[in-house]
Amino acid sequence: MRPALGTLLATAALGATAGCGSTHSDVELGPGGPPTPPSSGPVQGAHVSLVSVTGAGGRVSRAASLLDTAAHLRAFEEQFRPGSTHRISSAIARAKASGHAVFGAVIAVGCDRPPGADVVVDGSGRVQILPHEVANPLEECLVAVTTVAIADVPGSD
């Protein structure tokens, strides 16, 4: 009876928190334009929004995905569980209003939500979105939280 009760409680917790999540404060990275590839380093003037959704799934990736076409958006959103993309899609739409190139990346899946993220260009000219370190990581949680970073990047369009 205990395994069934444990499974029932875990399922109930997942169902109760499936709609949970938060949108973190936006992070401004400063004025100026980004370095042009193949330069590397922080992208000045990029604006990052973090969206955390409980139980959304997704795959953490250092490389950011360019979200400039409907096909790119579909490919990016396919990694998430059905019904969990509304807030992510809303953040993408707000970023597109900037008129800059928009990139997205899953920066964390687990118990913790990063407090922010930085947009950088690596030595090969690829845009990456790197999470800030969590000061006090949780040791365990009932349901993983997916944190997605959406960045509008001036000068990359």
pLDDT digits (tens, 9 = 90+) for 65-90: 999 999 999 999 999 999 899 999 99
The predicted-structure confidence for 105-132, as pLDDT tens digits, reads as follows 999 999 999 999 999 999 888 999 999 9
145 in a structural domain: yes
90 in a structural domain: yes
- pLDDT tier for residue 152 given thresholds of 50, 70 and 90: very high
54 in a structural domain: yes
91 in a structural domain: yes
49 in a structural domain: yes
- pLDDT tier for residue 147 given thresholds of 50, 70 and 90: very high
Number of folded domains that form the chain: 1
- What is the average pLDDT value for the chain, to the nearest integer? 79
76-85, long-range: CB within 8 Å, 24+ apart, which pairs? 76/104, 79/106, 80/53, 80/56, 80/146, 81/55, 81/56, 81/57, 83/18, 84/18, 84/53, 84/55, 84/56, 84/57, 84/146, 85/56
| Average pLDDT over every residue of 24-49 | 58
Q: Supply the range of the domain harboring residue 25.
A: 19-153
